[in-house]
Amino acid sequence: MILLIAIVFTLIIGKNFLLPLVLAGLIWFFVKEIRKLSERIPFIGKRLPRWVHNLVSISILYGIMGVVVKMLALNINEMTQEDNLSVYINNLDTINGYFYQQFGINVETFWNNSADKINYSSLIQGALSSASEQLGNLFMIGLYVLFMLLEETAFTGKLTAMAGDQKKLEEWNHTLKKVSDSIGSYLVLKTVVSLITGILSYTALAIIGIDSPLFWAFLIFLLNYIPTVGSLIATLFPACMALLQSGELNLALIVIAAVGTIQLIVGNIIEPRVMGNSLNVSSLVVILALSFWGAIWGITGMVLSVPITVIMVILFGQFESTRKIAILLSDKGKLEP
């Protein structure tokens, strides 16, 4: 119990240091996976030195991130233009009148009353603050990734010196490779599944005619990392936007049906086939992890909750002393030998 309290206390107090380090670790795994692909390029893949592959991988990854951020900024700017805002405000009045006429509910009064109980502004500020913190940490995250890649070259020699004999060195190398491959595979496959969800959602929202479909598609892509709750929120946000944009309930229902169908198809058909058994985590543990990491690290913690839990199961399953914990956290108590 003392150890558990100490770990939680360290995670809370060390948030500003640990969160960029965890994000850097995840980016490092992505860089390694891109590097593996670049090394398979015919004729030149094996001939180029590792630092060239690392440079190409980082350039590709940060290039994609830069393009996405630029496009998101353009979408948000378009959405917050004065003409669009005036339309949203007018439609909000129309929605309020419709609900009052049909159901006797004054949306504005309900919102004001609920605002006294739920501090919406603090929730929004928390989300924006979390995003701005990570943007501010981009330099440190990039620096961590750079030194992780530099450390790779010296790590083999350190591991050899620590092992002492060849047999133990082979065991350690086997374990580290298995852990690295499992984590890298999970992160890449989950990203691919989230990307499929985002692309399909963007197509659906663009066809329906929702404003700034790229912004909502990116939000859906990001929230797809959060289990259960993320899919629900990802469906409701563009639906609320449709309501504000048109002032009609029908368009919002169409968005819910379209995005919800995509979430169901991807979540229940595509994801199990692509991911296989890589998400070997109990549903209860997923919800508890979501609450725990969200409580200590905010929105970013919620996004990272499942990857961190999956990594814990993989790591704990590799060592006899912690294997029972991995079995407890796993889906059906079955781990690879």
Structure confidence at residue 203 (pLDDT): 93
Provide the strand spans (E) within the chain. Answer: none
Q: Cβ of 10: how many Cβ atoms within 10 Å?
A: 12
DSSP string, 61-113: HHHHHHHHHHHHHHHHHHHTSHHHHHHHHHHHHHHHHHHHHHH---HHHHHHH
Q: What is the 3-state secondary structure (H, E, C) of 22-53?
A: HHHHHHHHHHHHHHHHHHCCCCCCCCCCHHHH
**Alpha-carbon distance values, 173 to 51, 151, 156, 161 (Å):** 22, 16, 9, 13
Separation between Cα atoms, residue 131 and residue 295, nearest integer Å: 16
Cα 105 from Cα 115, distance rounded (Å): 16
10-residue block means of pLDDT along the chain (337 residues)?
88 86 85 82 76 82 78 70 66 67 61 51 54 65 83 80 80 79 79 89 90 85 77 83 79 88 85 67 83 84 81 80 86 71
Q: pLDDT at position 276, please?
A: 61
pTM score, whole prediction: 0.74
Q: How many residues does the chain have?
A: 337
Taking alpha carbons only, the member of 182, 178, 145 closest to residue 310 is 182
Q: What is the largest CA-CA distance in the chain?
A: 80
Nearest to 230 by CA among 273, 185, 197: 197
Q: What pLDDT is attached to residue 200?
A: 92
The whole-angstrom separation of Cα 218 and Cα 69 is 10
Rounded to 5°, the CA angle 145-150-152 comes to 100
pLDDT of the residue at 115 = 47
pLDDT at 337: 61
308's enclosing H/E stretch is: helix 283-317
CA gap 213, 234 in Å, rounded: 13
Which of 37, 69, 14, 30 has its CA nearest to residue 307? 30
User: Which of 302, 305, 311 has the alpha carbon at shortest distance from 131?
Assistant: 302
Residue 248 DSSP SS3:
coil
Q: How many helices (H) and strands (E) would you count in the chain?
A: 14, 0
82 token code pair: 């004065």
pLDDT attached to residue 84? 61
258 contacts 200 by C-beta, under 8 angstroms:
no
Distance (Å, rounded) from C-alpha 71 to C-alpha 50?
A: 32
CA-to-CA distance for 126 and 299, rounded, in angstroms?
Answer: 8
Query: Which token pair is 257?
Result: 């049906």
Question: What is the distance between the alpha carbons of residues 194 and 183, in angstroms, rounded to a whole number?
Answer: 16
266: DSSP letter: I
* 8-state DSSP, 270: I
Could you give the angle at the alpha carbon of 292 between the alpha carbons of 286 and 297, nearest 5°? 120
Residue 226, SS3? coil
